A = this chain, B = another copy of it.
Amino acid sequence: MRPSTDIAGGGAPRRRPIGVFDSGVGGLTVLHELLVALPQEDFVYLGDTARFPYGERSPAELEQFSAQMAEELLRRRAKLLVVACNAATSAALPALARRMMETTLGVEVIGVVRPEALQAVAATRTGRIGLLATPTTVASGAYERAIAEIDAHVTLHAVPCPTLASIIQAGRQFDELAVQTVREACAPLRAAEVDTVILGCTHYPLIRLMLQRLLGPSVTLVSSGAALARQVEHALSTRGLRTDHDGEGEYRFLCTGDVDGFREVGTRFLQMPFGEVEHVGLAHVEALA
Q: Could you tell me which A residues sit within 8 Å of B by CB distance?
A: 1, 32, 35-39, 174-176, 178-179, 183, 209-210, 212-214, 216-217, 248, 267, 270-275
Nearest-CB distance from A248 to chain B (Å)? 7
- Are B267 and A209 closer than 8 Å at their CB atoms? no
Closest CB of chain B to A185's CB: distance in Å? 14
Give the shortest distance, in Å, between A124 (CB) and chain B (any CB). 20
13 extra interface residue pairs, beta carbon distance < 8 Å, beyond A179-B273, A209-B271, A209-B272: A1-B176, A35-B209, A36-B213, A36-B217, A174-B270, A174-B271, A174-B273, A175-B273, A176-B273, A176-B275, A210-B272, A213-B248, A214-B248
| CB atoms of A217 and B37 under 8 A apart | yes
Bound-state Cα–Cα, A213 to B1, Å: 13
Selected contact of A174 from candidates B36, B179, B210, B267, CB within 8 Å? B267
Determine if A39 and B179 form an interchain contact, defined as CB atoms under 8 angstroms apart: no
Count copies of this chain in the complex. 2
A212 / chain B contacts, CB cutoff of 8 Å: 36
Chain B, Cβ-Cβ closest to A210:
B272
List 24 A-B residue pairs with CB atoms under 8 Å apart, sorted by A's residue number. A1-B176, A1-B179, A32-B209, A35-B209, A35-B213, A36-B209, A36-B213, A37-B217, A38-B217, A39-B213, A39-B214, A39-B216, A39-B217, A174-B270, A174-B271, A174-B272, A174-B273, A175-B273, A176-B273, A179-B272, A183-B248, A209-B271, A209-B272, A214-B248
- Least CB separation from A217: chain B residue: B37
Cα–Cα distance between A99 and B144 once the two chains are bound (Å)? 58
In the complex, A36→B209 CA distance in Å? Answer: 7
The 8 Å CB contact of A271, one of B175, B210, B273, is: B210
- A267 to B173 alpha-carbon distance, docked (Å): 11
Task: Identify the 6 closest CB pairs spanning chains A and B, nearest first.
Answer: A36-B212, A36-B213, A39-B213, A176-B273, A209-B271, A37-B217
Return chain B residues, CB-CB under 8 Å to A272.
174, 179, 209-210, 213
Nearest to A267 among chain B residues (CB) is B174
**How close is A184's CB to chain B, nearest CB, in angstroms?**
13
